[in-house]
Amino acid sequence: MSKISVLFVCLGNICRSPTAHAVFQSMVDSEGLSQQIAVDSAGTGDWHLGHAPDQRTCAVASERGYDMSELRSRLVEAEDFNRFDYIIAMDNENLSNLHAMRPGDYEGQLGLFRDYSQQSEQTEVPDPYYGGDNGFAMVLDLVEEASAGLLAHIRLTSPEMQSL
């Protein structure tokens, strides 16, 4: 059985998408699905290539028990459209950059992370980079909520998951 693969994308790949990567991976692991679902993250901008996630991101994540120490920033690349069933953008700017890269024959799901959330007021995970510390905690809240929705969606829609 091939794995279902999920790529989270933001601008720098040091705040929002690594948070989504760590939170969703933790959910997948705790539900015993790590053999069925593969998780990764990437950015559309190249300022922080090879860097660990932002210290403010790591601080709020570690308060809630998420480990981001292994993650490093990388760019989204054309090959990602061959590798990932889900390519999930944090905001509309990320999404429009991904649409511009999308090959015509991509058959996966390209959309906004918040589309998988039950809470519909806010459609984006906002960029916290130039804001205060409460922005990072809010990113984590939004990411936890949308991650639960995404996992429920994958469980419901993937034939591979029906027996698990």
> How far from the centroid of its chain's Cα atoms is residue 111's Cα?
11
**CB of 34 vs ligand 4NP, minimal distance in Å:** 24
Q: How far apart are CA 19 and CA 144, in angstroms?
A: 9
**CB of 15 vs ligand 4NP, minimal distance in Å:** 3
User: Which member of 74, 80, 127, 155 is catalytic?
Assistant: 127
10 catalytic per annotation: yes
Choice between 3 and 51, CB closer to ligand 4NP: 51
16 catalytic per annotation: yes
Helix (H) or strand (E) holding 89: strand 86-89
Beta bridge partners of 41: 8
User: Which member of 15, 16, 54, 80 is catalytic?
Assistant: 16
Choice between 44 and 117, CB closer to ligand 4NP: 44
Which residue in 55, 67, 115, 61 sits closest to 91, CA to CA?
115
58 catalytic per annotation: no
Q: Please, which residues have CB within 8 angstroms of residue 51's CB and are 6 or more apart in sequence? A: 14, 72, 73
Residues found near ligand 4NP in the complex (CB under 6 A) = 10-16, 47, 127, 129
Active site residues: 10, 16, 127
